[in-house]
Structure 1
Amino acid sequence: MTVGHHMREFHDLPVFEFPTEDARVELPDAAAVAWRLSAPTYSEPEDELWEPLFERFLKTVDTGRVRAVVVGGWDEAYENSSADIVAALIGANNRLTGLEAVFLGDMDSEDCEISWIIQSDVTPLLAAYPALREFGVRGGSELAFPSIRHTGLETLVVETGGLGADVVRGIAGSDLPALENLELWLGTDTYGADSTPEDLAPLLSGSSFPALRSLGLCNSVIQDEIAAAVASAPVVARIERLNLSMGVLTDEGAAALLDGQPLTHLAHLDLSHHFLSEAMRERVLAALAPHGVTVVLDDALEPEEYNGVVYRFVAVAE
């Protein structure tokens, strides 16, 4: 599966597409929407590229009132990295003085497959906006996230079909005292995922992110190992929402999760996109639902078999 549509809401604001030069569109109040700034990924000579579009945006909108920016596509995003986009946003930090949220790479599969998006080191962007509260990025190819300190960030989402261990370690080792929501799409080794639960150790131990209340470790080909690690992770005792969806979760991982520490304090547990037996689904619900835990369990997926080998798949890969 792939990412099938552009974002419709971001930072609790409706997403509004900044129009083309010749469009006659009334613009909303600058603070009332998340501004989507996007250029064609397969551009024609007459198309406006991302950097000129961004300059026009800065001249058109009351930049001091802009709260959220969604970066969509840029020219040949499957070959050109996001480094120039990051630099442009950094260069505008004296104008985007009210910016609270940035999402980098809102492309669907027709724009650019998630594992083809070429990213870059995104941490200078965070450093340039110390008041940023929410940051998201899509695409793991060439993505870098060395450990940083940021005192304002409350939500961090990294969506990939394959997340490198160096990025996982960089995020887990960061100093983010205000972080409440963390969601990582770990992906599959086919597209660069090479992390292990040990790479998440600072996060799982509870020594990182003292404000964390919602944790998503999703879309993983090693979802059973992740579930087993979470089962004994001290951080789980103080979170309210746990998301282990989109991955290759089988009865082995679910059993490890249930046999570990109590999960009855959770408000929400998402196990959607799974490979659990009916008996295991019933066991999960019986263990948690009576305690008021909302458990998301859709119908089980069927493994595929080819030449006697059984294959299970994550929700989002290529």
Structure 2
Amino acid sequence: MGPGRTVDLRSGARSVRVRAPGKINVALRVGPPREDGYHGIASVFLAVSLFEEVTASETSGDGVSVSVNGQGTLNLPPESIPLDRTNLAVRAAELLAEVSPGRTGVHLDITKRVPIAGGMGGGSADAAAALLACDALWGSGFSRDELAKIAVDLGADVPFALVGGTAVGLGVGDVLTPAISKTPLHWVLVSSDYGLSTPEVYRRLDEIRLRDGVDVDPRPEIDPAVLGMMRAGDALGLAPLLHNDLQQAALELAPGLGDILETGRDAGALAGMVSGSGPTIAFLTRSSGQAVELAAVLDAEGLQALPVQGPAHGARLVPDAAG
């Protein structure tokens, strides 16, 4: 049975439900293009309390099918998400099936909450959730570390969505080192309908650097002060340290993002930045109360704003969801 077709669930089919978090890049440094066409990065990933949800259910056929529905703040309709093998969650399930003797046909029902194509790793969270859900459904018995090794083939953000929390990502973001960050930091996320593709943003960054004669460090590093402020939960100290090398490129491609940044800062945010390759904007606030107030102000301005906090846990089975 191919992805996206009508699903024939087994009679009394078992199902497993998993949630996995979106993320923001609190700091993102980007090196020059490598020989393989990718860019080396140094980033601080922070999982936030905005979760994708995947329910994996046994089907009477073979293979993997998928359906998508949307809740919360989305900047593109769920219908824009592929329902074939190009869907990262489908690829995750197929990879796991290759090494799982107990595999069955499976249907993945994805509930989207992370802004679609918003620079927050929503598709990667879907893949991480699918891996964990299918592992439980099929009784594959892989450890979290073993699933993370499978996840590397799906993209740099998938292993992080499995583990969550806070981590420093090097290489293309796939070399993860967990960082201590237990005190919650409070953010407001603003999604928009600007169509920004990640490759396009990276290309524009390269063009800007060539145009401006910028000398780029081939081995980007993270300022240790960023991790120190996160460890201390010091939002005021962290605010001036937020940085995203991709932000200028995103702003040149979608100038309206600059207006959103200005609106949030004027409304009292400690700092704001483009999340990853955009177009989602992340505003740092002093407290959960201020995050709620800022989101209300931005909503009144006609923006799609949502208060969240981080660090959040990685992919996790939803209690009482396993059949």
Give the TM-score normalised by structure 2: 0.30
More strand as a share of residues: 2
Work out which structure has the larger RCO, using CA pairs closer than 8 Å and 6 or more positions apart in sequence: 2
